[in-house]
């Protein structure tokens, strides 16, 4: 009968199905499967009472054993799964409720009812009570339930609209039935990381730390959340109290957490440098030992082990080789833990896809309201769809982010990793492999461990890093996109990736939207004839050496003020500036500290108040620099050796501006003072910048897209020999 249900495609013609099985029953009333499928057809036709009557009639004609319910249960289970694949959630929900009557001890079916209720926004406290999960677990000792089913139930409940206190209580009573505590912790933390701050705290404090009071994973997650939400002193206190361990793996995690919190809070740089030096010794030892079975937590921290060095110094010839070794160890651990995928993807590296259009995949957590999201728009918009098929892979998709929705709409296909996939990068890697992507573009580099893990598995024949950060050093990456300026000429000596230099700029856009300014000089108590210097960066970019140079500029330019935006939410940044202002003899009243704005468009409009923008070093601005140049405001940037200290340089060169480019601290001060004292110089640079909107490759997204596409084509030709 199953063959009839499928081969005759009866589920798509329910009237025909009903007639077919009624006739079959009239011919032989002893074949019970006919009753099963007739009842199913009636159920899908919204005739529930009739369906139940048919199943009871079939039971009367069945052999008196348990096989009737088992067979009916299997048919209903298969159909529910089929309807779920079609996203017919309501039909699947109805079927599973009837399956529950047939197989009341089917725990997995009850979990799926919760999952479907969540999708249909029907999940309530009453639903959970009626399904009686806890009663079933407590009384049915013979139930064989694996951890994944209970974890899925916990995850569904914690992300539902049920009162959160009830969700926490329900989950806490499920946890004793989970055998693998580490997997339980990882799942709960995954949910916490995607919840609002208050809920996340409850999950960690009331669930994770109850299960494992000394869990480095749970405490580390809470530390990061506190820091990201402005509770800097609480985060630092928690980071300092992390469990002490002789294990190098745990030490790497603890040091990174402490570094992250104190840098975000702009603690004294002497302490930061001291802790970083200790951290380097531990990291070097771990890399030298090269263990292949590191815990997943350590793997994720090993991925971004050299993230902080770019803020502290500018010595890529030393840092990059070490970074390459750390990322090599990271990749070895990922591949060691997923040998089946490595083996599966290996043939892909020798295959020669023969697509009519070159398949380009973009993967990033940041194709949303984020710097990467704002800067990648023009490339995606101007792609030649006749020659290229564009795919988007979003490890975590935010439904309420309009920019991420726009990116998804621009793709030939978009794969959205969300709560259904539990953040499993291997699922997305397999999807990339099945899509037969020719060239996979990574926009996260080493800043997102899940993306780095996926790239390590090499699901695409050619893999490229662009835009998101400096090159990661991951062996699985073939190319790194740069330009003539953003990396020194000898950079290839210490980069593991092949540097692919575009002819003009590694980044080109069509411009930025802006709104109306909402700050004025009078509101800030600044005279109309004053010179306003401006800087907008996060606190960890405020290197003391640069702050010192900025105070020297303010000191030498009479009637000048400095607006500083992007604070850590405490007094540490102000104290840093005040201490250097005092050392240089600058009155505190000439410094103004501004809060962040409500939107990017508002921030750009407010740039109009500035006469001169002062960039940071050794970590330059990127999106902020592009915004400043687009708004036509003179800028001073200091050029270094590493990628992040050359963004201002390449952007200004491509905008046709050399005024303001400094090669050392003294030149930085000289340009800052000149801009403050020479209004004609400011006017000339501003005029050049506004004119560059029509002439610069920096503001020509269509041309940039063509240059990227040419690079992709050449990369593919090289791969195919």
Q: Among 104, 135, 154, give the residue marking a domain's end.
A: 104
pLDDT band at 542 (very low <50, low <70, confident <90, very high): very high
- Running DSSP on this structure, what letter comes out for residue 213? T
Mean pLDDT of the chain, nearest integer: 92
Do 491 and 361 fall into the same domain? yes
Which pairing describes strands 612-614 and 531-536: parallel, antiparallel, or unpaired?
Answer: parallel
In a domain, 431, yes or no: yes
Residue pair 481/467 in contact (Cβ under 8 Å)? The answer is yes
Measuring CA to CA, how many Å separate 264 from each of 8, 311, 516, 574? 64, 11, 30, 14
Q: What pLDDT is attached to residue 350?
A: 66
In a domain, 716, yes or no: no
Do 679 and 530 fall into the same domain? yes
Do 463 and 396 fall into the same domain? yes
In tens, the pLDDT along 646-671 reads 999 999 999 999 999 999 999 999 99
Residue pair 377/513 in contact (Cβ under 8 Å)? The answer is no
Which runs of consecutive H residues, i.e. helices, occur in 435-571?
A: 449-456, 521-524, 544-556
Phi, psi for residue 219 in degrees, rounded to 5: -65, -35
Neighbours of 136 (CB within 10 A): 16
pLDDT band at 147 (very low <50, low <70, confident <90, very high): confident
In a domain, 2, yes or no: yes
In a domain, 611, yes or no: yes
Which domain CATH number covers 376?
A: 3.40.50.11380
pLDDT at 141 over 80: no
Do 468 and 580 fall into the same domain? no
Q: What pLDDT is attached to residue 601?
A: 87
Structure tokens at 307: 């993230």
pLDDT at 566 over 60: yes
Do 496 and 527 fall into the same domain? no
Q: What pLDDT is attached to residue 392?
A: 97
Higher pLDDT, 347 or 418: 347
Measuring CA to CA, how many Å separate 696 from each of 188, 268, 470, 504? 49, 41, 24, 10
Do 567 and 530 fall into the same domain? yes
Closest CA to 532 of 562, 555, 553: 562
Closest CA to 635 of 689, 555, 574: 689
Q: Among 104, 121, 144, give the residue marking a domain's end.
A: 104
Query: Hunting for tokens 């036709």 — which residue is that?
Result: 45
Q: What pLDDT is attached to residue 242?
A: 92
Q: What pLDDT is attached to residue 2?
A: 47
Closest CA to 442 of 368, 525, 366: 366
Residue pair 572/539 in contact (Cβ under 8 Å)? The answer is yes
Q: What pLDDT is attached to residue 517?
A: 84
In a domain, 261, yes or no: no
Do 548 and 424 fall into the same domain? no
Number of structural domains in the chain: 3
pLDDT at 34 over 60: yes
Do 605 and 482 fall into the same domain? no
Structure tokens at 75: 């048919």
| Cα 639 to Cα 635: distance, rounded to the nearest angstrom | 13
Q: What percent of the chain has pLDDT over 90?
A: 74
Q: What pLDDT is attached to residue 112?
A: 93
In tens, the pLDDT along 210-229 reads 999 999 999 999 999 999 88
Do 493 and 531 fall into the same domain? no
In tens, the pLDDT along 72-125 reads 899 999 999 999 988 899 999 999 999 999 999 899 999 999 999 998 999 999
Do 454 and 532 fall into the same domain? no
Which helix (H) or strand (E) covers residue 110, if one does? helix 107-119
Q: What pLDDT is attached to residue 32?
A: 83
Which domain CATH number covers 53?
A: 1.25.40
**Cross-strand bridge partners of residue 363:** 393, 442
Do 564 and 423 fall into the same domain? no
Q: What pLDDT is attached to residue 8?
A: 65
**Cross-strand bridge partners of residue 362:** 392, 441
Query: Hunting for tokens 């074949």 — which residue is that?
Result: 31
Residue pair 62/68 in contact (Cβ under 8 Å)? The answer is yes
Residues 530-539: what's their mean pLDDT? 94
Do 54 and 15 fall into the same domain? yes
Q: What pLDDT is attached to residue 382?
A: 98
pLDDT at 18 over 70: yes
Q: What pLDDT is attached to residue 304?
A: 94
pLDDT at 66 over 70: no
- Running DSSP on this structure, what letter comes out for residue 588? G
| Cα 123 to Cα 128: distance, rounded to the nearest angstrom | 8
In a domain, 218, yes or no: no
Domain boundaries, position 74: 1-104
pLDDT at 208 over 80: yes
Closest CA to 483 of 374, 643, 629: 643
Q: What pLDDT is attached to residue 108?
A: 92
Which domain CATH number covers 552?
A: 3.40.50.2000
| Cα 374 to Cα 448: distance, rounded to the nearest angstrom | 18
Residues 30-41: what's their mean pLDDT? 87
Q: What pLDDT is attached to residue 386?
A: 96
In a domain, 320, yes or no: no
Residue pair 286/246 in contact (Cβ under 8 Å)? The answer is no
Higher pLDDT, 152 or 561: 561
In a domain, 511, yes or no: no
């Amino acid at each position: 009968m199953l063959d009839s249900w499928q081969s005759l495609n009866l589920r798509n013609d329910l009237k025909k199905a009903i007639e077919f099985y009624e006739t079959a029953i009239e011919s032989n009333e002893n074949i019970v499967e006919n009753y099963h499928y007739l009842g199913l057809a009636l159920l899908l036709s919204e005739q529930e009472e009739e369906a139940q009557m048919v199943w009871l009639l079939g039971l009367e004609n069945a052999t008196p054993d348990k096989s009737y319910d088992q067979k009916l249960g299997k048919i209903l289970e298969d159909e529910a799964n089929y309807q779920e694949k079609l996203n017919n959630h309501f039909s699947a929900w109805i079927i599973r409720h009837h399956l529950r009557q047939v197989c009341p001890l089917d725990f997995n079916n009850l979990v799926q009812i919760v999952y479907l209720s969540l999708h249909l926004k029907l999940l309530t406290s009453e639903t959970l009570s009626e399904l009686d999960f806890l009663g079933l677990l407590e009384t049915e000792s013979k139930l064989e339930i694996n951890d994944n089913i209970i974890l899925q139930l916990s995850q569904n409940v914690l992300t539902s609209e049920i009162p959160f206190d009830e969700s926490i209580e329900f989950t806490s009573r499920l946890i004793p039935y989970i055998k693998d505590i580490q997997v339980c912790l990882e799942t709960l933390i995954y949910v916490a990381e995607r919840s609002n701050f208050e809920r996340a705290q409850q999950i960690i404090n009331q669930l994770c730390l109850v299960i494992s009071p000394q869990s480095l994973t749970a405490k580390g997650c809470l530390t990061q959340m506190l820091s990201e939400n402005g509770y800097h002193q609480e985060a630092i206190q928690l980071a300092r109290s992390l469990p002490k361990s002789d294990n190098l793996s745990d030490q790497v995690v603890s040091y990174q957490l402490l570094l992250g919190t104190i840098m975000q809070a702009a603690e004294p740089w002497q302490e930061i440098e001291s802790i970083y030096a200790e951290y380097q010794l531990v990291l070097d030892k771990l890399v030298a030992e090269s263990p292949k079975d590191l815990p997943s937590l350590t793997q994720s921290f090993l991925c971004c082990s050299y993230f902080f060095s770019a803020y502290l110094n500018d010595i890529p010839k030393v840092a990059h080789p070490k970074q390459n070794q750390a990322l090599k160890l990271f990749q070895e651990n990922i591949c060691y833990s997923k040998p089946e995928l490595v083996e599966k993807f290996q043939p892909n590296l020798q295959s020669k896809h023969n697509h009519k259009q070159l398949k380009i995949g973009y993967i990033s957590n940041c194709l949303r309201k984020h710097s990467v999201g704002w800067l990648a728009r023009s490339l995606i918009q101007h792609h030649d769809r006749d020659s290229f098929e564009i795919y988007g892979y979003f490890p975590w998709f935010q439904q309420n982010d309009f920019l991420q929705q726009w990116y998804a709409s621009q793709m030939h296909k978009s794969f959205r990793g969300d709560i259904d996939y539990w953040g499993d990068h291997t699922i997305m890697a397999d999807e990339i492999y099945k899509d037969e992507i020719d060239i996979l573009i990574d926009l996260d580099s080493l800043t997102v461990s899940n993306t780095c893990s996926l790239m390590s598995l090499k699901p695409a024949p050619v893999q490229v890093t662009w835009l998101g950060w400096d090159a990661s050093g991951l062996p699985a990456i073939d190319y790194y996109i740069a330009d003539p300026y953003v990396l020194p000429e000898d950079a290839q000596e210490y980069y593991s990736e092949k540097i692919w230099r575009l002819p003009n700029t590694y980044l080109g856009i069509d411009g930025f939207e802006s709104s109306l300014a909402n700050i004025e000089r009078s509101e800030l108590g600044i005279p109309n004839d004053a010179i306003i210097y401006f800087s907008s960066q996060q606190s960890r970019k405020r290197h003391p050496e640069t702050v010192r140079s900025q105070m020297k500029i303010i000191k030498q330019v009479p009637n000048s003020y400095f607006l500083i935006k992007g604070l850590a939410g405490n007094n540490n940044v102000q104290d840093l500036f005040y201490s250097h202002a005092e050392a240089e003899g600058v009155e505190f009243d000439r410094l103004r500290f501004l809060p962040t704005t409500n939107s990017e468009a508002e921030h750009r409009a407010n740039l109009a108040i500035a006469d001169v923008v002062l960039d940071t070093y050794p970590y330059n601005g990127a999106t902020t620099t592009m915004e400043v140049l687009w708004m036509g405001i003179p800028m001073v940037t200091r050029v270094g050796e590493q990628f992040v200290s050359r963004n201002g340089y390449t952007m200004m060169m491509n905008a046709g501006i050399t005024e303001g480019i400094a090669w050392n601290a003294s030149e930085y001060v000289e340009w800052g003072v000149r801009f403050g004292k020479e209004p004609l110089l400011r006017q000339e640079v501003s005029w050049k910048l506004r004119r560059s909107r029509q002439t610069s490759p920096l503001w020509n997204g269509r041309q940039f897209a063509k240059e990227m596409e040419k690079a992709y084509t050449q990369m593919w030709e090289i791969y195919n020999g």
